[in-house]
Each structure stands twice: as C-alpha cells, then as structure tokens.
Chains A and B, each alone.
Chain A
C-alpha cells in the first residue's frame, strides 16, 4: 500500500516519475504543464539523483531524451501541444531507432499558439504517428489523477517491453485538477542496462551504435516490416478500455480522457430519463480497442462520440463499427469543455428527436 495524497494531475505525474526510478527528465516550460519541471527541479535530484535539465527548446529536450534513452536509461519528457509539435522530428528518430521513452502531452487548444485551455485536438498527431514515416507511439489516455500516476509506471514498462516511445495523452484540466491518489512506493533506479545501450564498448563484444539511417531500400523496408510486426503485437497484447453499462445498452457514449468521465455523468442523467445508455472509454488510444465497438455495434441504435476537438477519434470508432451502427459526433474546441447537460441535450437532439444541426 502506497501513500494516499490529494494532488494535482501534473504534480502527481511528476511524483510518479520520481517514484518509478526515472533516470532523467529533459523539458522546456510551456503552459499548462510547467509545474512538472518545477516540481522535479525542487524534488527529484535530491531524492533519487535523477537528472533534471531545463533544455533550450523542446527540440533540444527530445534529442537529449534520445541520447539518454540510447544509453538504456528510464527517461521522460513532458510538454503541451506546440512543444510536442516541435518534438515530432526527434520522436520519429526515437521510434525508428526503437528506443524506449515516455512522454506526456498536456494538450491545449490549437491550432497555432491557440489557447492554454484544455483540448483533445492532438489525437491524430498522437495515435497516427505524428512525425515523418510509418511509426506508432503507444498512447495512454488517463481520465483521473490516479491514472496520471499509474500510467507513468505502466508507460515505462510498456516502453521497455516493446522498445517503443510511449505517450500519456492528457489535457490541461486533468493536469490542474486535484483528486485523491494512491502513490506506489519508491522504486530503485536501474543499475543494469540493456545490451543494446551505448554505455561504452564492452570488451570482446562489438560496439553498439544507434541509428535510424538505412540507405539501402531493402534494409529500410526490413526495418519497417519489423516495426509493423511490433505494432501488430502491441495491438494483440496491450489494448485497454473501460466499458460501463454495456449489457442492456441501446446507445453508447464514447470519448477518451476527461471527456469519458463527463460522458459517464451524462449517461447517469440519460438513464435517469429512461434511455439505455452505456459508455466506452478507450484507455489505450493506440492500440485502439476496435473489437469492443465491433462487438457491441449490432445491438445498438447508435453511438455518440464526444471529444474536445472537431472529431478525430470518431474516425477510429467508425472504422471499428464498419457501418454496423450509426456513429454521430459532438465536440467542443478551442479550450471549451462539454458539460454533461450538453452531451445529453445533443444525444436527445440526434437520437431521440432525430434532428440534425
């Protein structure tokens, strides 16, 4: 049993990083996640000797991550949307070189400099690759402060298991809100490193080098095939989702992260009015829990997908049900958060009254 605390999402994430035995954090301040660097600067190196460095930019930060991850260490960075965009080049290299690392995107509203208010508009960027080339991140979408903690530990484990970058896709509201959390106990930092790590050539063994450059097309295709096979394996093993009240459901509300919880509240309100509504919350948004949608679709009159964007995950939901039921979308953008009442209203407008906007 760990410690019970009341913490803000960003602080809980930072504390979990220290406790997970993270070796290094490289980051750059950006609202709404600057508390992470501040918290670590205050706490981390004193407690575990963890390296905490404020880089000159997100571009530098992600490449510092590349270096330290290449040396086989547990490393993490965090940022918010514009900063994550700057990191995409480095992420593509990290994915290609198959280095484990953990990132958190505390998403804010875009495009451009946008707003510092919460958003989910970076879904496509997170789950479809983000940078150049065919690659995937493992993407975890927490919906509570507790999951901000749990997914740090899980994220490091998944990253190391698959030698793949992992992203925690969260938003400014979860980052700022306070909830009860149970913190896991301090884990020791690693003292042994993988045999591929560049920690200095071992006597009698070949040198290690980490690269994403393979000039010969045959070789580069081989690398791509290996990556794709890995992503298939991840899709087979690592799908996580939360399903609520699906047994008798005629309708499903679906959304990820914070919005899923608003959907659950809207579901409670809908059930109070006699509508048989369930909720599906993908916890991993890559790999996407396709099957749960496919399985439930035939019994449904429709799905309402709710997001804080113009409709991104809804495309994956539609692919999952493959026409077996109607999938409608309701979203807010630019830092606006849909309320439970709004979701219920739009559900009734679309599915009960049969109106279109």
Chain B
C-alpha cells in the first residue's frame, strides 16, 4: 500500500494544495457518519462479520430516537459478549442464556425506560430457551435483537440450534444430521404464536438494502416498546465467515443462497392495526 492519501493524489492532479478540513469536511459533503452512540474504537469482530453492522444500526436508531439516556442493554455470552464495549449506553452482561431474565428484572423496576437484549442463536435458542419463551409469554415489554448465523462463533464453530440441515460444523463434522442432532429451531416463528408477543420480524444485513430494512424494523420495535405493546423480537440472519471457513463475500452468498431460503425474511408477526 502506498503511503499517499486521497488528498495527496488530488493535490498532485490539480496542482493545488487542498486543505482537508476546510475544503472537504463540509456539511454538504457528508454522506455518512458513525452514530454518536457507537464508541469509536476498533471492534473485535472478524472482518466481514454481521455483528458490527447490527451494532451500528441499533445504535443509529438509539441516536435518531434520542434515547441514549433512557435505554439499558443486556449483552449475551457469545461473540457479542463485549457489546458493552461498543454501545455507549448503560449495559449489563448476562450469564449465558439469561439475558431475557436480566432484562425482565431491569424493565420491571424501570418500566419507563427502554430495555433491549442482544443475543446470538446459542444464547437465545439453546441454553436460554426457557428464559426467552417465558419472557415472551409474559409479554415483557422489551426488544430482543436475535443474531442468527447458525453457528457458535465464540467457541469456534460448533453446531447451533439454528444450524442448517447438512451444514458442517466442528460438532457436526459430517453435516448436521437431523435424525440424530435435531432439526433447526424456528424460534422466532415459535415465539410469534404467543399472545404476549407483539412483533417478530426477520431481516439480514448482507446488502445495503437489507441493512436499511433491518434498521427500520429495529426502530419500529423500540417505538412499539414505547407504546407498551409487549415483547418484540428482530431476528437478523447473518454470516460467520471465520467459522463457516469462507471469505466475507462467500459468506454473504451463503446467507443469500442457503440461510435466507431456510429462514425467509420479512414480518412474522405485527401488532394489530400496524
């Protein structure tokens, strides 16, 4: 890589010295800023991982709603265990699977605050199934952001409850055999059947268009929480390039070709009249 920057090249081409701050950093030129509520440090996520995008859009929504001081998050155990390093809001780190119980504790004593959990598939749909189902069934007025990449990332690639049939992981080395290892768990669809659940919607963050839709969905869910409608879950079907043993691009292709057909995107349940 050359040491020369875009500014140097411009300067050579135009033969005019360009001052970055005065000539380029102008309000009318801004096309993108990192959300204020996302702390400006490098993330530990692997290159191409969907977590960083999911973090970002969630914090963008918090920024746009102006609720940084009114929201409390609960981090899971899994790759996003350190979510509190990045999200500049009050947070608690829960034991594996217990995020919905922790969130219940927080929300019940501060019903006026926004509360969310951010959980992966193992945390939410394996070890934490009971806490998730019962928080949903009680209609806890919280948002669950559910990251589904069909694999355990933090522990390096074991089978998850949402691993696709035939998918190779370190604990299903010959491909997930549904006869002995069970079927992928459609946890979102399952939860949508419960009367306490207000909103369930499935999205992805593998294309800009999908990122926009996912963000809108998160905003809706927090809006519903404000209205006191009950349990909302936004599932984000995403990738795990490292443990899928793929390049980021290949992993996004896998999301498109394999994951999404199995976990179709779109609303699964919406509040009445919405």
A contact residues vs B (CB 8 Å cutoff): 23-24, 26, 51, 53, 55-57, 59-61, 63-71, 73, 75, 89-90, 93, 97, 198-203, 207-213
Q: Are A210 and B91 in contact (CB under 8 A)?
A: yes
* B88, B92, B105, B130: the one within 8 Å of A56 (CB): B130
Of B106-114, B166-174, B179-187, B212-220, the stretch lying at the interface with chain A is B106-114
Q: Are B106 and A209 in contact (CB under 8 A)?
A: no
B contact residues vs A (CB 8 Å cutoff): 68-72, 74-75, 81-82, 84, 88-95, 98, 101-106, 108-110, 113, 130-131, 133-134
Q: What is the CA–CA distance of A68 and B108 in the complex, to the nearest angstrom? A: 8
Q: What is the CA–CA distance of A69 and B92 in the complex, to the nearest angstrom? A: 11
* 12 A-B pairs whose Cβ atoms sit less than 8 Å apart in the complex: A26-B104, A53-B104, A60-B98, A63-B131, A65-B105, A70-B92, A71-B106, A201-B69, A207-B88, A208-B90, A210-B92, A212-B93
Q: What is the CA–CA distance of A82 and B116 in the complex, to the nearest angstrom? A: 31
Q: What is the CA–CA distance of A66 and B95 in the complex, to the nearest angstrom? A: 10
Q: What is the CA–CA distance of A71 and B91 in the complex, to the nearest angstrom? A: 10
Residues of B within 8 A of A97 (CB): 93
Residues of A within 8 A of B84 (CB): 207, 209, 211
* Given contact pairs A55-B101, A64-B102, A90-B98, A71 touches B69 in the complex (Cβ within 8 A): no
Q: What is the CA–CA distance of A23 and B113 in the complex, to the nearest angstrom? A: 16
Known A53-B108, A57-B130, A210-B93; further 11 A-B contacts with Cβ < 8 A:
A56-B134, A59-B98, A63-B101, A90-B98, A200-B90, A207-B89, A210-B91, A211-B75, A211-B84, A212-B93, A213-B82
Residues of B within 8 A of A89 (CB): 95
Chain A CB count within 10 A is highest, among B90, B94, B110, for B90
Q: Are A51 and B91 in contact (CB under 8 A)?
A: no
Q: Are A68 and B109 in contact (CB under 8 A)?
A: yes
Q: What is the CA–CA distance of A66 and B131 in the complex, to the nearest angstrom? A: 14
- The chain B residue with its CB closest to the CB of A210 is B92
* A61, A63, A207: the one within 8 Å of B91 (CB): A207
Residues of B within 8 A of A65 (CB): 105
Q: What is the CA–CA distance of A21 and B188 in the complex, to the nearest angstrom? A: 39
Q: Are B68 and A209 in contact (CB under 8 A)?
A: no
A249 to chain B, nearest CB (A): 47
B135 to chain A, nearest CB (A): 8
- The chain A residue with its CB closest to the CB of B106 is A67
- The chain A residue with its CB closest to the CB of B104 is A64
Residues of A within 8 A of B134 (CB): 55-56, 60
Residues of A within 8 A of B133 (CB): 56
Q: Are A51 and B108 in contact (CB under 8 A)?
A: yes
Q: Would you list the 5 A-B pairs with minimal beta carbon distance, nearest first?
A: A67-B105, A63-B101, A64-B105, A211-B93, A67-B102
A40 to chain B, nearest CB (A): 14
- The chain B residue with its CB closest to the CB of A92 is B95
Q: Are A67 and B103 in contact (CB under 8 A)?
A: yes
Q: Are A198 and B90 in contact (CB under 8 A)?
A: yes
Residues of A within 8 A of B109 (CB): 23-24, 51, 68, 71, 73
Q: Are A198 and B106 in contact (CB under 8 A)?
A: yes
Q: Are B94 and A66 in contact (CB under 8 A)?
A: yes
Chain A CB count within 10 A is highest, among B89, B93, B109, B134, for B109
Residues of B within 8 A of A207 (CB): 84, 88-91
Q: What is the CA–CA distance of A357 and B134 in the complex, to the nearest angstrom? A: 53
B65 to chain A, nearest CB (A): 13
- The chain B residue with its CB closest to the CB of A57 is B130
Q: Are A64 and B93 in contact (CB under 8 A)?
A: no
Chain A CB count within 10 A is highest, among B88, B93, B133, for B93
- The chain B residue with its CB closest to the CB of A64 is B105
Q: Are B69 and A202 in contact (CB under 8 A)?
A: yes
Q: What is the CA–CA distance of A17 and B259 in the complex, to the nearest angstrom? A: 50
- The chain B residue with its CB closest to the CB of A68 is B105
Q: What is the CA–CA distance of A70 and B133 in the complex, to the nearest angstrom? A: 23
B238 to chain A, nearest CB (A): 23
Residues of B within 8 A of A56 (CB): 130-131, 133-134
A119 to chain B, nearest CB (A): 28
* A51, A60, A73: the one within 8 Å of B131 (CB): A60
* A61, A68, A93, A212: the one within 8 Å of B106 (CB): A68
* A24, A75, A209: the one within 8 Å of B90 (CB): A209
Q: Are A201 and B90 in contact (CB under 8 A)?
A: yes
Q: What is the CA–CA distance of A68 and B89 in the complex, to the nearest angstrom? A: 17
Residues of B within 8 A of A93 (CB): 95
Q: What is the CA–CA distance of A24 and B75 in the complex, to the nearest angstrom? A: 22
Residues of B within 8 A of A66 (CB): 92, 94-95, 98, 101-102, 105
Q: Are A63 and B70 in contact (CB under 8 A)?
A: no
Q: Are B72 and A71 in contact (CB under 8 A)?
A: yes
Q: What is the CA–CA distance of A66 and B97 in the complex, to the nearest angstrom? A: 13
* Given contact pairs A70-B106, A71-B72, A90-B95, A60 touches B88 in the complex (Cβ within 8 A): no
Residues of A within 8 A of B105 (CB): 24, 26, 63-71, 75
- The chain B residue with its CB closest to the CB of A26 is B105
Residues of A within 8 A of B75 (CB): 211
Residues of A within 8 A of B74 (CB): 67
* A90, A201, A209: the one within 8 Å of B92 (CB): A209
Q: Are A198 and B69 in contact (CB under 8 A)?
A: no
- The chain B residue with its CB closest to the CB of A23 is B109
A301 to chain B, nearest CB (A): 50
* A57, A75, A199: the one within 8 Å of B110 (CB): A199
Residues of B within 8 A of A90 (CB): 95, 98
* Given contact pairs A65-B105, A67-B104, A199 touches B95 in the complex (Cβ within 8 A): no
